[in-house]
Amino acid sequence: MMPSPEEIIELIEEDDMLGYCLECGFTQECVEPDARGYVCDNCGQPKVYGAEELLFMTEG
Ligand SMILES: [Zn+2]
């Protein structure tokens, strides 16, 4: 599931090394803003992306 643009902007503004799992919606710590395909601590799928990557994805 994709986070909303508002949620992504919040992640970026917090600048807290947070990533987001597209599979389960889990917010994961210690994820670089440009991370792609990190393994999710919650569901185990390689679907965790950094905030900046998410923003690029939603902008197409
Ligand atoms: Zn997950």
pLDDT single digits (tens) 13-60: 887 899 999 999 999 999 999 999 999 999 999 999 999 999 888 875
- Rounded to the nearest angstrom, the distance between the alpha carbon of 3 and the centre of ligand 1 is 13
Can you spell out the DSSP letters for 2-20?
Answer: PPPHHHHHHHHHHTS--EE
- For ligand 1, the distance from its centroid to the CA atom of residue 1, given in whole angstroms, is 10
Pick the closest to residue 19 from 5, 43, 34, 6 (CA basis).
34
Q: Which pLDDT band holds residue 12 (cuts at 50, 70, 90)? A: confident
CA dihedral 29, 6, 58, 33 (to 10 degrees): -30
Secondary structure element (H or E) that encloses residue 51, with its range: helix 51-58
Distance in Å, CA 48 to ligand 1 centroid: 7
Selected residue with higher pLDDT from 1 and 9 = 9
Predicted pLDDT of residue 40:
98
Give the pLDDT score at 50: 94
Q: Would you state the pLDDT for residue 15? A: 76
Report the residue count for the chain: 60
Give backbone dihedrals phi and psi of 48, rounded to 5 degrees, phi first. Answer: -95, 125
